[in-house]
Structure 1
């Protein structure tokens, strides 16, 4: 080797080391540039990976390794740059040399990473097929047709999932109603859309295990967890980059999404969570934005599903009638329909079908599969009720017949009295509140439901009733034993041996005519014989062997008398004889020392029962609509434990003087009473204080007796002079009804205190010429008034007079509904200056006012008049020419009726879209064609609801 070669051999490494020191600045700039370029490539590939994974693919291992190496290199480069920045002022040669060497090494690493990108085929496809597709389809069968109950519910769920405002949706209903089936359909529908990156189905079931939920979500996403890492953090990091639909099926308890690692759905991430549960409470606790109740199938849908499961055997003319009855006994519950249908498939003997029908009617699990596949799954909901008291209330509901309107007040009152928890509260009202709370908890568990829109009644699904009867039957090993034969058409009572040992017996709504037995019932607490309309006689010894009986209901029976053995019921707390029209005689009731509720309303008794004064524990007495020839009011008012008294529409009405003696009933909280007059009202403070303590009252003067509109109502009929002291009543009333009171000329002059009034009805008061004259009323006279009804007032010329209320007056600030009917002298309703007072008005109805020419008189309206008016009805107003002389707009109008207003030339404007407007415009074709329009658009909007008369 010559000298030059030797020099080159040693110079190369020397020059490289010199370069670490000398070329540091240039190499740093090069490193920055190449690192930036590498990061762009990293982000492009990462984006490809993220796009590919949610559609059922997984990241290639080589790609994952490359991305990891790039991130590590970026971190090391950042460390070099930070160290370089910290040592800028340092000129130490060794430090500069070390940094320079590290920079060159990182340049070599980047060169190698770029070289890997060029390897053939590795990065052409960054992901490959995965075992974790975007949606896992599920087997399901749903009743056909979008118009079916299931079809409508399915569409409602799908629509909710597509509404931005709904992040978490709850699907509630009793066990076996079809919640899971519906969500399987939703899951499968997601295969046809690209709405979600991934759909995750988790079956939670009764035993909540958060770790297992995390594992299942991780498996669904193709993730693996190391033993030491936080699963929640790792799941969150993955899910936050996905638009997911998480279906939590059969959830029994709420849990924290944060704890599991599930990002909460919101408008930004557009994720959704759908929960199926038997408990509304669970859905609410999970933060559901919307809860959907799954209903039972209709009879037609139930039959279609049942016949599909049974096969052609049900087409037989001999089998079909019985098969239809069997299907009805399944009460629209898909789980029961499928179970019974499978059990009856191929059975071609009508005797077998009749035996199945008998078993189903008797809540017997004889039909194969019923106990294991229907009763036991349903019983899980019962087992999960919070405590034995709530379970007891649920079981109590089975005492009523199928499809019975169960009155909540009655249910709560009798069950609470029997359970004895009334002793743990101060009064009947508190016991009722407590009972209502328990009913709500049972409803939240989907074991009871409201009866339509009538909030005072609930109903029990037939199969849940069968479950309760099964639990309380002799075949069950738990709970009290019931004998339930309600609504079964019995002509004779059950055999005496069936009565022994049971705690509650219900024979409601049968056709029993005579009780000729004397059963031994040592444990019997409740006996319901009501609605046996043909029941005439009861054996003289019938009650002798019922020492523990506490509840006895004989209402709506035809009994004429009660046997003396009734007096042996020394533990009786509740006796109901309501609507026993033929009842003429009862034993002296003074022996029933424990009696707390006595209902004699609508009975045929002529004489007041003897011994009432001895019932010192009596809390509730109802003698409404009775025909007692004499009523010992002093005796009644002397029962100091009374909390609720009802004396409506008695043959012998109470006058004001007699009523005033009630001031001594210091525990009284609820009073319903008819008075013959207002005379004798006490005006002193003691009376006022007593009356203010009532939480509910209905005072009816002269037998007007409207249905109760509020829990504090006064109805006064044909009273021309209102005595002093009436403010003791009216100052506490929420509803006031004045009927045929000729001496009334204006409410401004009414002596009563009306500041608490919420509803006011004035009808057939011929002396009323003006409802309110603002010059005669004080501030806030009607500040709580929400509804005003003015009916049949022939001389009413003005509703409001004296201009508008003073600026600071708070009267009418809460008025929401005005209804005016048949006020023939009324030419207008409001002055324009009054409109500002009515900013809460939501409904306005004017009907059959034959001289009404305009609704609002004047020439200028406040800005944004009637901002909340939703409903406007103008009906049979032959002289009506305009609503208001100037153009203005109803900004919240939703429902409008204009009927038979032939002189009206312009219909009101509204700003809502036509899809939000409903109602009807009705009139002659000639009138319609003569209407004046702002533009063709307005006309086209109204054309949709026009109907020619």
Structure 2
């Protein structure tokens, strides 16, 4: 039987090997060898030496645990001084530290009990020694694991709420063998590099990977220079200038280093990893990239699920991806607004103070500090620089000066050098001059604009004017907006998309970060000789005449509360080219106001809802190319425009005019004319339109009356048209001929919204009828039969106010509907079902993607019998409103065809009891008032046994992401079984008093 010292020797060697890799308590390389030598010829003395060494080892473990404990406790003391309490998981972590320290003490005490004065070891002591060996080994491994789980005590205090979550996500991705490239994305100055550096230090501290290498990638790097940088850090010398050979050398050298993390910071261009010599593999190199350009990650095959977006303070998502909301009233998130700058303010005060202690300020100064922090818009770099600039400044005059500088866009040297220089790099990265020009123009617009409205504004004002078609210009505008969002120059506010998903799907609300906007306005000041920018403020009066310099070129006073332009105000600005006064409360403009603005090209007075008339001096602005008068709801008089021969774009929409402005027929160069949603505007066929032959875009929807086909036949350049045709019996042949000769050819508009037989107010129509180019929509109302010729390539069909049809097939079965994507039906009294399932229409529809049903008094079922051609297999969106006779929205047979369904919205339907019908409901009475469902019972008898075990039926809709249920007083269940959706599913349920909570399960997307 081996003696105790042999066992202890081999255990000691094993422990030494483990700790040489896993802990910072390493032994010298020759420790085990010298220990073995000490056993030869010294067996009587070895036991005491080995035991002493093991006891020392336990002492070092205790010291290591104590250091970790003191580090956390020091941070806790700082938290307590700020009135904060630590998280529960911090307490649990410290308790485990105490437990491990006690175990180390107990093990040391047990080793003291050994007596090795001779070679005889009693059996009981031998057993105790073996147990001690296992305990020490286990404790050593536990300590290493526990240190890796060390919590971020101060993360909320210093880095914001998302920092800790981002760190946890990074650890998860780094430990996943399926992930090779991880992206850290965000705007300049938001903390991407800080997060990466924190991870670098944590990897080194925890020794999770064998090494972590950091490289800052220059903006204009080359493969050769990047290879040189990597070689210097890993201490490799090249003996060749051939990039391919150098890549092979780097690949071999990096592979020798085993399991490592490589960080490429501040990447602006695609890096060909293979040409550099970086080979990603399991148990080898993992790559972390930081960049403010989303395209970089896509080009380098970094999956979107592996990209961590770092946002400014308070830009975190309020919604859990799988939450369902039960509300009796609409939420307005007002509570969020009270403290959304709280984290930013804490950071500012900490930076303003010293040694981690926030500075205490007087109430007067604190109010200005809140203003300054708000102007920094949550950007950590801006907050830190401003705080450093104001360190030691406690007198109020210093802070008032800073506030005035912000108001006048006169930033200090520190903000210019340390913040705007960083942000400006994104602007200069826009290679095309048109893109830079458009970005600067967007900085003059209000914050928070829907994507479609922003794009339309860019085209309205001619920012992307060119010789191409409107489609090409709109495509360019869409590409530009994508570029600005992907390059962190615009922000897509997803929360606003969620709240209004049913109305504005795929139309995100866009905004520009406050400091990015200030950076853009500073560039504008440098590029334009003189400008006056006072937008997005609280001005109530227009600046006095003497404030308008004679060399002004651009003036933006948009998005204020200006009400008065005093009589006699007549700025002498002969070089002024752009004047933006939209989104104010102006109710009167003096006659002389425009008298000295002869160079004015762009004038936007939109959304001045109290403005009633425009001055006659407007008629003399002969250089004007864009005039925007949108949503001036009280505007009833516009002076003659016949002398504005340079005018290319004219928008007079949602106003109160009763007749078109005089001289409209003289604007022969006009390309864009929008007179939509003027409900008092009586259009007279043949009045002004025939002479406007250069029109590309014409929107006349929502006006009283309509025009004739002959009015637009001469517009050979027309690409987009929306309006109402007056089609009486003697004109119906003209319209049919227009469809065959113009709409069905390549010569006519490829994007249109045509309304026929309009006898009612069109105010319910959407403001912007074209969600995309080549949308083709026809709208009919109040017809006994469809006598009109339909275009072959029709995509959307709208049918309103019909008191005659009981089924859609009655009037549509003789037309080619194979391309039809959307059907909208409003206010039908006799319609009982949409489709008969057996006619040509039902067999021809193959691409239906959206179905919108509103105010259908008699509708009981979507289909009497499900057609065999899977006509609903492409359906993505279903909206049902005020259909009071329906009891079950979707039958089980219909659900089987809805595997592409993404969104369901149901509201104000008094009789609906179920959203999804069960396969077989044994409690259902045979005299069910829904007679159209009787055929389901025969087909689904096989499900009876399944139903005996309760609600075990399962519906799987993997693409369903949105369910909105509102004001359904009889709704008892969404589904009696289990609904399985993607993990991105969201739901809003309001005012459904009898509804049981639905059983919804989620599977990974």
TM bucket normalised to smaller: 0.7 to 0.9
The CA distance in 1 between the partners of 2:849 and 2:885, in whole Å, is 25
Select which of 748, 752, 776 maps to 1:697. Answer: 752
The equivalent position to 1:470 in structure 2, one of 504, 513, 522, is 522
SS of 1:600 mapped into structure 2: strand
Residue of structure 1 equivalent to 2:270: 254
- Provide the residue aligned with 1:485 in structure 2: 534
Q: CA-to-partner distance for each residue in 1:161-197, whole Å, 9 max, x for gaps? A: 4444432222222221111111112222223545422
Structure 2 residue aligned with 1:617:
669
Corresponding residue of 1:423:
466
Query: 2:42 corresponds to which residue?
Result: none
Matching residue within 339, 343, 350 for 2:385: 339
**Could you tell me how far 1:844 is from its partner in structure 2?**
6.2
CA contact (8 A) 1:674 1:703 kept: no
Separation (CA, whole Å) in 1 of partners of 2:518 and 2:657: 38
1:670 corresponds to? 720
Are residues 1:588 and 2:640 paired?
yes
Post-superposition CA distance 1:326-360 (Å, at most 9, x none): 22111111111111101111111111101111112
Q: 2:807 pairs with 746, 749, 753, which one?
A: 746
* 1:890 corresponds to 2:955: yes
- Contact 1:793–1:823 (Cα < 8 Å) also in 2: yes
**Structure 1 SS opposite 2:510:** strand
Q: Is the 8 A contact 1:418 1:525 kept in 2?
A: no
Cα deviation per residue 1:465-493 (whole Å; 9 max; x = unaligned)?
111222222xx3x4564321113333132
Task: From the superposition, tell whether residues 420 and 785 of structure 1 become closer, same or farther in structure 2 (CA, over 3 Å).
Answer: closer
Structure 1 residue matching 2:818: 3-state secondary structure = coil
Check if 1:310 corresponds to 2:357.
no
**Over residues 702-737 of structure 1, what are the superposed CA-to-partner deviations in whole Å (9 max), with x where a residue is unaligned?**
335343585546575751423422424xx4443333
Distance (whole Å) between structure 2 residues aligned to residue 231 and residue 148 of structure 1: 44
- Cα displacement (A) at 1:441: 2.2
Describe the superposition over 1:255-305 as per-residue Cα deviations: whole angstroms up to 9, x where unpaired: 21111100135xx34632111112222332222223333211131111000
Please give the secondary structure, in 2, of the residue aligned with 1:667. Answer: coil
Partner of 1:567: 619
* In 1: Cα distance, 2:180 partner to 2:220 partner: 25
What is residue 538 of structure 1 aligned with on the other side?
A: 590
TM-score, with structure 1 as normaliser: 0.72
CA-to-aligned-CA distance 1:502-533 (integer Å, 9 cap, x gap): 33211113315116343343432211122231
* Bigger mean CA offset, 392-401 vs 159-168: 159-168
With over 3 angstroms needed to count, the CA separation of the structure-2 counterparts of 1:461 and 1:240, relative to structure 1, is same
Residues 388-428 of structure 1: per-residue CA shift (max 9 Å, x gap): 22221221122124xx1245556555656766752331x33
Matched position secondary structure for 2:264: strand
Matches within 5 A, 1:183-582: 183-226=196-239, 230-241=245-256, 242-265=258-281, 268-269=282-283, 271-290=285-304, 291-298=307-314, 299-311=341-353, 313-366=359-412, 369-401=414-446, 404-406=447-449, 408=451, 411-412=454-455, 422-425=465-468, 427-452=469-494, 453=497, 455=507, 457-473=509-525, 476=526, 478=527, 481-490=530-539, 491-493=541-543, 495-496=545-546, 498-510=548-560, 511-514=562-565, 516-540=568-592, 542-557=593-608, 558-582=610-634
The 5 A counterparts of 1:90-101 are: none
Structure 1, 309-318 or 379-388: larger mean CA deviation: 309-318
**Contact 2:667/2:692, CA 8 A, preserved across alignment:** yes
Equivalence map 1:807-818=2 (5 Å): 809=869, 811-818=871-878
- Aligned mates of 1:321, 1:374 — CA distance in 2: 23
**1: distance between equivalents of 2:915 and 2:492?**
44
**Which TM-score applies when normalising by structure 2?**
0.68
Partner of 1:872: none
1:722 aligns with 2:785: yes
Structure exhibiting the larger radius of gyration computed from Cα positions: 1
Structure-2 residue corresponding to 1:635: 688
8 Å contact 1:313–1:346 — kept in the other structure? no
Q: Any idea what SS the aligned residue of 2:867 has? A: coil
Distance 1:632 1:908, change over 3 A: same
Alpha-carbon distance change, 676 to 561 in structure 1, aligned in 2, over 3 angstroms: same
**Which consecutive residues of structure 2, in runs of 5 or more, have no partner in the other structure?**
1-16, 30-147, 315-340, 498-503, 922-928, 947-952
Instruction: Provide the C-alpha distance between the structure 2 equivalents of 1:902 and 1:548, rounded to a whole number of angstroms.
Output: 63
Shift of 1:845: 7.0
Aligned partner of 1:122 in structure 2 is: none
The question of 1:805 aligning with 2:867 is answered yes
Q: Distance in 2 between matches of 1:204 and 1:529?
A: 44
SS in 2 for 1:591: coil
Structure 2 match to 1:114: none
Number of residues of Structure 1 aligned to a counterpart in Structure 2: 777
Deviation at 1:156, TM superposition (A): 3.8
Q: Judge conservation of contact 2:753–2:779 (CA < 8 Å) in 1.
A: no
Offset from partner CA, 1:584-609 (integer Å, 9 cap, x none): 43332111111111112223333422
Contact 1:828 1:857 in 2 (8 A): no
Query: For 2:1000 and 2:816, how far apart are their aligned partners in 1?
Result: 48
Structure 1 residues 207 and 481: alpha-carbon distance in aligned structure 2, compared to 1, 3 A threshold: farther
Change (3 A) 1:755 1:273: same
User: What's the CA shift for 1:849?
Assistant: 7.0
| Cα offset, 1:790, TM superposition | 3.9
Aligned to 1:653: 705
Aligned to 2:797: 736
- For 2:551 and 2:450, locate their aligned partners in 1 and report how far apart those are by CA, in whole Å: 28
CA 1:835–1:407 in 2, change beyond 3 Å: closer, same or farther?
closer
Instruction: Summarize the Cα distance change of 1:59–1:922 in structure 2 as closer, same or farther, 3 Å threshold.
Output: farther
CA deviation profile, 1:658-683 (whole Å, cap 9, x unmatched): 35643332222222224677764435
Whether the 8 Å contact between 2:880 and 2:905 is mirrored in structure 1 is yes
- The one-character-per-residue Cα deviations of 1:66-87 (angstroms, maximum 9, x if unpaired) are xxxxxxxxxxxxxxxxxxxxxx
Partner Cα distance (1:773, 1:450) in 2: 43
Of 713-722 and 355-364, deviating more is 713-722
Q: Deviations over 1:560-594 (max 9, x none)?
A: 44344333322211111223344443332111111
* Contact kept in structure 2, 1:608 and 1:631, CA below 8 Å: no
Change in Cα spacing, 1:596 to 1:316, as seen in structure 2 (3 Å) is same
Give the distance between the partners of 2:841 and 2:555, measured in 1 at CA. 60
Q: Residues of 1 paired with 2:289 and 2:914: CA distance?
A: 57
Inter-partner Cα distance in structure 2 for 1:430 and 1:706: 26
Contact 1:472–1:481 (Cα < 8 Å) also in 2? no
Provide the C-alpha distance between the structure 1 equivalents of 2:348 and 2:684, rounded to a whole number of angstroms: 60
Preserved contact between residue 361 and residue 394 of structure 2 (Cα < 8 Å): no
Distance apart, 1:817 and its partner CA? 4.1
Distance verdict in 2 for CA 1:159–1:660, change over 3 Å: farther
Instruction: Pick which of 220-229 and 501-510 moved more.
Output: 220-229
The structure whose RCO (Cα within 8 Å, separation 6+) is larger is 2
- Are residues 825 and 399 of structure 1, via their aligned partners in 2, closer, same or farther at CA, if it must alter by over 3 Å? closer
